[in-house]
Structure 1
Amino acid sequence: MRIVRTVADVRAAVRDARSRGASIGLVPTMGALHDGHLSLVRAARAANGLVVMSLFVNPTQFGPNEDLAAYPRDEERDARLAEDAGVDVLFAPPVAEVYPQGFATSIHVAGLTDVLDGASRGAGHFDGVATVVTKLFQMVAPDDAYFGQKDAQQVLVIRRLVRDLDMPVTVVACPTVREPDGLAMSSRNVYLDPESRERATALNRALDAAEREVAEGRTDAAAVLAAASAVLGAAGIEPEYLELRSPDDLREVARVAGPTLLAVAARVGPARLIDNRILEAAP
């Protein structure tokens, strides 16, 4: 595996691979790798001749009171895991390579970024995501780009970005990877002490409760959300949001009539965690 830090070097690696007829798969990450990230690598490896992983903690998607400075960083560990999983090129640029002096452009995706995490984290969060992903797509020019379904809103934003700007990239969403007790894998799980770690499993159990409610024929939004909220409340968790939304455009829905996104975000101890589930009523 090669580690490169400049746009010129990653482009050279991609040109060389394309000259040999290889397709390019990109796995964008902020490091602190876990098996969720590595599942994306495995999917990219199965479908592409060259797998590029970006390793970049993007400052523009963090708000002023968020955990940019504390975000876990261990490039040596991440590089070892990436290589073992099948990454060919690890692109780990410094901030100045991505945002050089005088950088003044931001990408805004209207209509999908003012609800859920956009409302909780501020409008600038998804502007930062959209901007850095656009830059990565320009730098690497991948055929396919791989993202985790845990970040369902982010996947929708990136798909809209690709569609609206006619980018020749296929966005591949891979299933959420969970710990044995159901907690969705996240780089921020390292913030959890044992007590918070146990409480955090309530997020997945809340989604389970909502799913059972729908399976038993109670599809009204109030009933579904009440079932999930009860599980969170029993664990002492007050969600930042717990909402039913259309999985296509994030509009609010009053009933689970077709595939419906149930999304939750909550602070558990020092960690802000998100999770989601697609619910669907029985025919």
Structure 2
Amino acid sequence: MKLIQSATELQKLLDIDRAEGKTIGFVPTMGALHQGHISLVRLAQKSCDVVVVSIYVNPLQFGPEEDFEKYPRTLNQDQELLEANGVQYLFAPTVEEIYPNGTEITQRAGVVGSTFEGASRPGHFDGMLTVVNRLMEIVQPNAVVFGEKDAQQVFIVKKLIGARFRDCEFIEGPTLREESGLALSSRNRFLRQEERSDAESIYHHLSQMKTQLEAGAAVSEVIAEHTKAIETAAKAKLEYLAVIDPQLFRPVDDKHRGPAKIIVAAKVGEVRLIDNLNVKAING
């Protein structure tokens, strides 16, 4: 595996691979890698001949009160993990390499980008789209892989890929979970031992909601019940708990028919966690 910091160098190497008829798969990350990321690498390997993984903690998608400085940076461990799993290129650029003309927003997420995660983290999705667009321009992959745990990110990035990189296949990887159900996340390492059970209980509430909704319970009643339960029993500070239409990423009401997605963001102690669960059908 080659560790590369220069966009120009990476592009030259990928041009050689393309000239040999190889397809390029791309997995963009912010590092602090775990088995959830490796599952995305596996999907890229199934789809393409060569895999590029990027590690870049993007300052544009962190707000002034967020954890940009504290976000875990574990490049040496990440490099070993990727090499052990057959990745050809690790792209770990500097800020100057990604933003040679300065850190300005070039992409806008629109109305959807101002709801849920966007409401909790203003400007987050504009910054995220800006770096994804830049990375896609550098790598020019045949396929790009994102994890479904970041549901709103997936929804927004999929639209960017469809509009600007139409020859690229968008692959969505399923969420990997611990045995307890807690979704794998780079931030889980910050949970104190006494906070883990509270974090784990959030997934159990999502599972109960899924069961209730698929059995015909009213959306409004299910949300109200579990909002109270998560904030009391789980001792979590909820930012949002909603049931949305996955085609529109908008909240549904009690009249909704068909597939849906439960989404949640909550802070357990000082750790902010997000998760989601698909619902096969409501009132189906």
Q: What's the TM-score once normalised by structure 1's chain length?
A: 0.95
Matched, 1:174 2:173: yes
Matched, 1:262 2:257: no
Q: Distance in 1 between matches of 2:105 and 2:212?
A: 46
| Matching residue's letter, 2:38 | L
Q: Could you say what secondary structure the match of 1:113 adopts? A: helix
By how many angstroms is 1:104 displaced?
Answer: 3.6
Question: Hey, what does 2:90 align to over in structure 1?
Answer: 90
Question: Hey, what does 1:118 align to over in structure 2?
Answer: 118
State whether residues 213 and 223 of structure 1, in contact with CA within 8 Å, keep that contact through their aligned partners in structure 2. no
Question: Hey, what does 1:228 align to over in structure 2?
Answer: 226
Number of positions where the alignment pairs a residue of Structure 1 with one of Structure 2: 281
By how many angstroms is 1:230 displaced?
Answer: 4.2
Q: Distance in 2 between matches of 1:81 and 1:282?
A: 44
| Matching residue's letter, 2:264 | V
By how many angstroms is 1:167 displaced?
Answer: 3.7
Matched, 1:16 2:16: yes
By how many angstroms is 1:10 displaced?
Answer: 1.0
State whether residues 11 and 139 of structure 2, in contact with CA within 8 Å, keep that contact through their aligned partners in structure 1. yes
| Matching residue's letter, 2:90 | L
Q: Could you say what secondary structure the match of 2:159 adopts? A: helix
Q: Distance in 1 between matches of 2:145 and 2:225?
A: 33
Give unpaired runs (5+ residues) of structure 2: none
Q: Distance in 2 between matches of 1:224 and 1:210?
A: 6
Q: Distance in 2 between matches of 1:254 and 1:42?
A: 38
Dislocated runs of 4+, deviation >6 Å: none
State whether residues 7 and 97 of structure 2, in contact with CA within 8 Å, keep that contact through their aligned partners in structure 1. yes
Q: Could you say what secondary structure the match of 2:184 adopts? A: coil
Q: Distance in 1 between matches of 2:147 and 2:45?
A: 15
Q: Could you say what secondary structure the match of 1:259 adopts? A: strand
Structure 2 CA distance for partners of 1:110 and 1:101, relative to 1, 3 Å: closer
Equivalent runs, 1:240-255 vs 2, <5 Å: 240-255=239-254
Question: Hey, what does 1:281 align to over in structure 2?
Answer: 282
Q: CA RMSD in A?
A: 1.4
Question: Hey, what does 1:163 align to over in structure 2?
Answer: 162
Structure 2 CA distance for partners of 1:29 and 1:139, relative to 1, 3 Å: same
State whether residues 207 and 277 of structure 1, in contact with CA within 8 Å, keep that contact through their aligned partners in structure 2. yes
| Matching residue's letter, 1:281 | I
State whether residues 236 and 269 of structure 2, in contact with CA within 8 Å, keep that contact through their aligned partners in structure 1. no
Give unpaired runs (5+ residues) of structure 1: none
By how many angstroms is 1:166 displaced?
Answer: 4.8
By how many angstroms is 1:192 displaced?
Answer: 0.5
CA deviations 1:126-178 (Å, max 9, x no partner) are: 00110000001000000110000000100110111122335422211110000
Question: Hey, what does 1:76 align to over in structure 2?
Answer: 76
Question: Hey, what does 2:144 align to over in structure 1?
Answer: 145
Equivalent runs, 1:184-223 vs 2, <5 Å: 184-218=183-217, 220-223=218-221
